[in-house]
Amino acid sequence: MPEELLKELQALITEGRSPFSDELDAMSTREILELINREDAMVPTAVAKVLPHVEKAVEMVVGVLQSGGRLFYIGAGTSGRLGVLDAAECPPTFGTDPELVQGFIAGGYGALIKAVEGAEDDATGSHEFLQQNKLTSRDCVCGLAASKRTPFVRSGLDYAKSVGARTILVTCNPPESADTQIDVIIAPIVGPEVLTGSTRMKAGTATKIVLNMITTASMVRLGKCYGNLMIDLRATSDKLRERARAMLMLLTGIDYAEAERVLTAAGGELKTAIVMVARRVDAQEARSQLAAAKGQLRSVVGDDLLPKAGK
C-alpha cells in the first residue's frame, strides 16, 4: 500500500521537481525571489486556459443558490484554508447569510492556524460535516485538492454525489477517467513548484484566483452589485459603514448627514437605502420592489444613477 501511494504521488505534476530550481539552495536572495516571481507569473495563464470550466461552475452555483441551495467548500491544508477564507468573506462583502457559503477544513477549524498532520487522510470527516449540515440535492460541494487525490476531499465528493448534490473539483493536476462523475473539474496546470511539493505556492495561488472568480461572478449574477459597487455589503465595521455612506452619496447625490439618516432607516441595508432615495419610498416599499426584481437593483432604479469611474 505505501509503495502504491508513492507511485501515485510520483505521477502527480504538483509533486514533480522543477528544472529551474534544482540549485535553489545555492541561489542568492535576489535570484530566489526572481525565480519565484517568474514561476508565479505562469499562474494567470494557467487559469485563463480553464475559464470555460470556471464559467460552467459559476452557472451551476448561481442555479443552486437561486434555488435555495448552498455552496460548501471542503479541503485540507492550504486548499482547505482558502475555502474557509473565501466562504468567510462572502457575508461582509455580499451581505449573504453565513450558511449560504461554508468552508470546512480537514482537522477542524483549529487547522486554520496550526497544521494538523495527517488530517487530509481522514476519509470520514468531510462527509460527517456534510451530513451534520443536512446536505441535499439542492446543494453544491466544491472539493479543493491540489493533488486531486486527497481522501478527505474525495470522500466528501463521493457523499455529495450519493445524495444528488452538484459537485466541483478544483485541482492542479489533470483529471482522469475516474473523475468523470464530478459535474465540473477546474484544473489549472501550473507545473512543479519552486520548492518541490509545496503546493501552498503556485497551486495555492491558482486555487485562490479560481475561488475569487466563482464567488464574485456568482454574486454579481445574483444582483449583489450595481455597476462595480458592492451594494449588498454588510456594514459591520467603521470602514464598511463609511463605504456604504460613500456609495449612497455617490449614487444619489445626497449629503453625508442625509445618507446616515437614510441608512439608519433602512436598517443599514445599502441596497434598500438606494431604492428609498431613488424611488422616494420608505424602507418597506423599497424591499418589496427589490424582492419583485429578485434583488436586481438595476431592474428597480435603471442605470441612470451609476456614474462612470473617475467622474
DSSP states along 101-170: EEEEETT-GGGGTS--TTGGG-SSHHHHHHHHTT--TT-EEEEE-TTS--HHHHHHHHHHHHTT-EEEEE
What number of CA atoms fall less than 13 Å from residue 24's CA on the CB side?
Answer: 13
- 115, with CB counted inside 10 A (0-12, 13-18, 19+), is middle
DSSP 308: P
How far is CA 280 from its chain centroid?
36
The H or E element that residue 49 is part of is: helix 43-49
The answer to whether residues 71 and 102 touch, using CB atoms and an 8 Å cutoff, is yes
Q: Is 31 a catalytic residue?
A: no
Long-range contacts of 43-46, Cβ-Cβ distance < 8 Å, separation of 24 or more:
43/188, 43/190, 43/202, 43/205, 43/206, 43/209, 44/209, 46/188, 46/189, 46/190, 46/206
Per DSSP, what are the bridge partners of residue 26?
A: none
Which of 15, 120, 193, 269 is the catalytic position?
120
The answer to whether residues 68 and 138 touch, using CB atoms and an 8 Å cutoff, is yes
The answer to whether residues 201 and 193 touch, using CB atoms and an 8 Å cutoff, is yes
d(CA 296, CA 290): 7
DSSP states along 68-85: T--EEEEE-HHHHHHHHH
Q: Fill in the amino acid letter for 139.
A: D
d(CA 135, CA 151): 19
Which of 23, 31, 55, 89 is the catalytic position?
89
Catalytic residues: 89, 120
